[in-house]
Structure 1
Amino acid sequence: MSDSFHPETLAVHAGRRIDPATGAVTPNLTLSTTFERAADGSLPHGLNYTRLDNPNRHALEEALAALEGGREALAFASGQAATAALLQALSPGDTVLLPDDIYHGTRVLAETVLGRWGLRVVTVDFTDSAAVAVALEHTAARLLWIETPSNPRLKITDVRTVARLARAAGALVVADNTWATPILQRVLELGAHVALHSTTKYIGGHSDALGGAVIFSADAPPDFVARVRENQRLGGGVPAPFDCWLLLRSLATLPLRVRAQSATAAQLAVWLATEPAVARVYYPGLPVHSGHAINAAQMSSGGAMISFEVHGGFAAASTVAARVKLITRATSLGGVESLIEHRKLAEGPHSPTPDNLLRLSVGLEHVDDLRADLAQAITGLAM
């Protein structure tokens, strides 16, 4: 499908075709694990075995590539599977630069699991472009991993600047665009070679389908793309056909959902910043956020995620999470329902996340109802 269409149009039509046999508008679900060869041994439909390819996965990958503005996409069984496939496309002894604030699972996978395999990890404050330049100069990094807004403190990386530095140093640039989605931020246009998504989150949007994806820019090195594709097909971390079907279904409403959730989040962030029980609000849509100007230059809004710290430490954060009635206490984010999580409790005692930080994924409920629930939850906290 032409990339000249607007995101709303691509979200509805990319990867979808009318079934020529029945005229069905909704894509068929192909559950078969294997596909018949012709008498001469050829594959007349281009399909062999569903770990290697599947019509539903192909449709999802086509849609994601179009929406992110990439050359091609690869779908995985989870965001972690996608992350592992990218990092394992490197070689033992290669160095990866990670930001100092990043999804806990990415850090642990890179440092612990792949550290045993030989991956070297260097952590840098990516909000400091000068520090990134120094790290690139002294480490000969093979890959630089951007996450903006970051999880859970919503730090903002200047993608254009950092990507330019990395490319000049000969490093690959991966940008985890899960929190922003291609609706709010186009990381490939900003200079990344690869956009990563946990499609479980906003792309799925209904907390009912697990998945991940990587989308490659037009100038992503072909040998690296080939290794990632090999990891997908031989490693076997591929999504089930039904999960692909669900994710493609959800793409149609992605622009509407994300923009509505972001609008509500912006109102809640402003209100939280005025509450005496709240010590700090992390939201790049607030003018007081240190990355506000950069975020405004590369992202169309502040997004739908808010983190905030409450006075009273670990115990107070646990109390707030326990008191909510409308908002659900649960891991994950990006669904139509609002979720809250005490991140230090989830990540463990060795996590660098502040003890008193709560992460809020804003859903599609009315802003007044969410505000009222949060207000009653923080009322009476020790100042």
Structure 2
Amino acid sequence: MTDRYNNFETVAIHAGNTADPLTGAVVPPIYQVSTYKQDGVGGLRGGYEYSRSANPTRTALEENLAALEGGRRGLAFASGLAAEDCLLRTLLAPGDHVVIPDDAYGGTFRLFAAAVASVAQEAGARLVVDNTFASPYLQQPLALGADVVVHSMTKYMGGHSDVVGGALVVSDETLAEELAYHQNAMGAVAGPFDAWLVLRGIKTLAVRMDRHSENAARVAEMLTRHPKVTRVLYPGLPEHPGHEIAAKQMRSFGGMVSFQVTGGEEAAVAVCDRAKLFTLGESLGGVESLLEHPGRMTHASAAGSPLEVPADLVRLSVGIENADDLLDDLRQALG
């Protein structure tokens, strides 16, 4: 069915989601099984023998992921880090060099990925893009010259803060086979229930990302006018250094906003403590809005390094609640 459709919203709902041939169920069942009966020695039903190697629920998700990113093969893992570990073990050998930007796990990397692609291709290097913050709805790095796309499916792909998972999507079939070998050998695969939860989340990815982006744009605009805010970091703002590239290659600007406040670190921590609707938490991409103080939370280990974040920085993962309520909460948190 999805072969006849190219629009993202339709593909997200239908790719990999064929009706169950036994019952007609319109969503893939959760195959909570470890091993499969074989029809004679070496006679596999549908290619399944052991769920570390393959599981029908995970297969549905992997087919969906490949379709969303415009790739040939998708691979689902137990976490984003498991996906990255598999990738590094597949691509790198002792003595190899890896070039990564200062902000290796932030929105800035995705904004500049198109410029990095030409450099990587000229050098004969593989370009890997973490598309977690944008999601394939907002941009598709493979179409922009990337070789591999990485996702933490815990975030926007799952979208409901109830699953942990990771993914790799590639276009090169030879690389896909190498990655699949290591995925099976290392064993950090997505479980069937986790795969089912991500598949469920992806069905509403487009409408959620539209709302995340709309709300974040309103939040960023309000913050730029607040007297206690010294700087707002959001690619949708014309003054953001990545705005031009983001506007060129992204559908919209996403749901992540960071800002700096007057009063330094203690003032930033106080904003986090006073927030009521924004939940203090370290993840992102769920339907609920989160905020955190990166200097003391997610990026505490980077203190004193080139990756250190400003002490007066607050990070927001803007959810899909009513935007007016979010604005009111931030105003009172800022005092």
The TM tier, using the shorter chain, reads over 0.9
RMSD between aligned residues:
1.4
Q: Say whether 1:368 aligns with 2:324.
A: yes
- How far apart in 2 are the matches of 1:149 and 1:14? 30
Q: Say whether 1:197 aligns with 2:151.
A: yes
Q: Are the aligned partners of 2:73 and 2:176 in contact in 1 as well (CA < 8 Å)?
A: no
- How far apart in 2 are the matches of 1:315 and 1:40? 67
Match for residue 171 of structure 1?
A: 125
Moved more, 269-278 or 3-12: 3-12
Pick from 248, 255, 263 the counterpart of residue 312 of structure 1. 263
- How far apart in 2 are the matches of 1:367 and 1:245? 30
Match for residue 344 of structure 1?
A: 295
Residue 367 of structure 1: how far off its partner (Å):
0.7
Secondary structure of 1:243's counterpart equals: helix
Amino acid at match of 2:314: L
Match for residue 91 of structure 1?
A: 93
Residue 168 of structure 1: how far off its partner (Å):
1.4
Summarize the alignment of residues 267-282 of structure 1 with structure 2, pairs less than 5 Å apart.
267-282=218-233
Residue 186 of structure 1: how far off its partner (Å):
1.1
Provide Cα deviations, 1:270-324, integer angstroms capped at 9, x if missing partner: 1101111111110010011111111100111111100111111111111100000
Residue 101 of structure 1: how far off its partner (Å):
1.2
Secondary structure of 1:63's counterpart equals: helix
Provide Cα deviations, 1:118-152, integer angstroms capped at 9, x if missing partner: xxxxxxxxxxxxxxxxxxxxxxxxxxxxx6444xx
Q: Are the aligned partners of 1:18 and 1:24 in contact in 2 as well (CA < 8 Å)?
A: yes
- How far apart in 1 are the matches of 2:27 and 2:115? 42
Cα separation, partners in 2 of 1:171 and 1:221, compared to 1, 3 Å: farther
Match for residue 183 of structure 2?
A: 232
Summarize the alignment of residues 82-161 of structure 1 with structure 2, pairs less than 5 Å apart.
82-89=83-90, 90-103=92-105, 148-150=107-109, 156-157=111-112, 159-161=113-115
Summarize the alignment of residues 2-21 of structure 1 with structure 2, pairs less than 5 Å apart.
2=3, 4-21=5-22
Residue 44 of structure 1: how far off its partner (Å):
2.6
Cα separation, partners in 2 of 1:31 and 1:71, compared to 1, 3 Å: same
- How far apart in 2 are the matches of 1:97 and 1:322? 37
Q: Are the aligned partners of 2:139 and 2:250 in contact in 1 as well (CA < 8 Å)?
A: yes
Secondary structure of 1:46's counterpart equals: coil
Residue 189 of structure 1: how far off its partner (Å):
0.6
Amino acid at match of 1:257: R
Summarize the alignment of residues 260-299 of structure 1 with structure 2, pairs less than 5 Å apart.
260-299=211-250
Residue 221 of structure 1: how far off its partner (Å):
6.8
Residue 3 of structure 1: how far off its partner (Å):
7.4
Match for residue 27 of structure 2?
A: 26
- How far apart in 2 are the matches of 1:194 and 1:63? 16
Secondary structure of 1:97's counterpart equals: coil
Match for residue 43 of structure 2?
A: 42
In the superposition, the TM-score normalised over structure 2's length comes to 0.95
Pick from 180, 205, 210 the counterpart of residue 134 of structure 2. 180
Residue 211 of structure 1: how far off its partner (Å):
0.3
Aligned length: 328
Cα separation, partners in 2 of 1:64 and 1:176, compared to 1, 3 Å: same
- How far apart in 2 are the matches of 1:192 and 1:266? 27
In the superposition, the TM-score normalised over structure 1's length comes to 0.83
Secondary structure of 1:314's counterpart equals: helix
Match for residue 54 of structure 2?
A: 53
Secondary structure of 1:75's counterpart equals: strand
Give the share of equivalent positions with the same residue, in percent.
Answer: 49
Provide Cα deviations, 1:197-238, integer angstroms capped at 9, x if missing partner: 100000000000100101002xx372x433322221111111
Residue 161 of structure 1: how far off its partner (Å):
2.7
Q: Are the aligned partners of 1:149 and 1:180 in contact in 2 as well (CA < 8 Å)?
A: no
Secondary structure of 2:120's counterpart equals: helix
- How far apart in 1 are the matches of 2:173 and 2:54? 22
Amino acid at match of 1:233: N
Amino acid at match of 2:23: T
- How far apart in 1 are the matches of 2:201 and 2:115? 33
Cα separation, partners in 2 of 1:323 and 1:229, compared to 1, 3 Å: same
